[in-house]
């Protein structure tokens, strides 16, 4: 790696992200995810004391499709991950990668001052972060 060069999460994150309510059905969440061409959605907080959630396509495959459940009868809150591990936009991408490795993450919301400002995943870390470090 190049010493002294710092790529921050804010430099690689995807600002456009999908946020949905936990009460929507998996069927409706899938429609939204497909329309936004994304494999993940942030589940909104219900109130200021709540935590953000996260639903991934892999959650839907493992907890709905593989268990032969009807997507129109399962709500997002039943299969989402919550609370999620947030990432600060000022975090060095190398530390973000270590965080992902240590906790078995593949995606995380980027949160600034309590609000989701983007999302980061393996794709952004490698194609935008690592790629800049080796150029």
Structurally, the chain folds into a number of domains equal to 1
Q: Is residue 43 part of a domain?
A: yes
Distance CA(47)–CA(56), nearest Å, equals 22
C-alpha torsion angle, residues 98, 102, 105, 110 (rounded to 10): -50
Q: Is residue 4 part of a domain?
A: no
The percent of residues above 90 in pLDDT, for the chain, comes to 87
pLDDT at residue 1 is higher than 60: no
Structural domain range at position 77: 9-134
Q: Please tell me the predicted confidence (pLDDT) of residue 2.
A: 55
Tokens of residue 22, six digits: 């936990």
Could you count the other beta carbons within 10 Å of the beta carbon of residue 16?
10
Please give the model's pTM, rounded to 2 decimal places: 0.88
Q: What is the pLDDT of residues 95-128, one digit of tens each?
A: 999 999 999 999 999 999 999 999 999 999 988 8
3-state secondary structure at position 67: coil
Q: What is the pLDDT of residues 80-98, one digit of tens each?
A: 999 999 999 999 999 999 9
Q: Is residue 36 part of a domain?
A: yes
The mean pLDDT value for 28-54 works out to 96
Q: Is residue 62 part of a domain?
A: yes
Q: Is residue 3 part of a domain?
A: no
Backbone dihedral angles phi then psi of residue 2, each to the nearest 5 degrees: -85, 125
Q: Please tell me the predicted confidence (pLDDT) of residue 129.
A: 82
Q: Is residue 115 part of a domain?
A: yes
Find tokens 């010493």 and name the residue.
Answer: 3
Supply the CATH number for residue 82's domain: 3.10.580.10
């Amino acid at each position: 790696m190049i010493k002294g060069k710092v790529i921050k999460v804010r430099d690689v994150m995807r600002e456009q992200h999908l946020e949905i309510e936990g009460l929507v059905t998996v069927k409706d969440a899938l429609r939204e995810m497909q329309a936004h061409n994304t494999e993940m959605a942030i589940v909104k907080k219900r109130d200021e004391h709540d935590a953000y959630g996260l639903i991934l396509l892999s959650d839907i495959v493992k907890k709905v499709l593989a268990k032969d459940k009807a997507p129109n009868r399962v709500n997002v809150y039943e299969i989402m991950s919550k609370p999620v591990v947030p990432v600060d936009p000022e975090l060095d991408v190398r530390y973000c990668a270590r965080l992902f490795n240590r906790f078995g993450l593949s995606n995380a919301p980027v949160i600034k001052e309590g609000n989701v400002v983007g999302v980061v995943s393996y794709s952004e870390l490698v194609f935008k972060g690592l790629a800049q470090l080796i150029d």
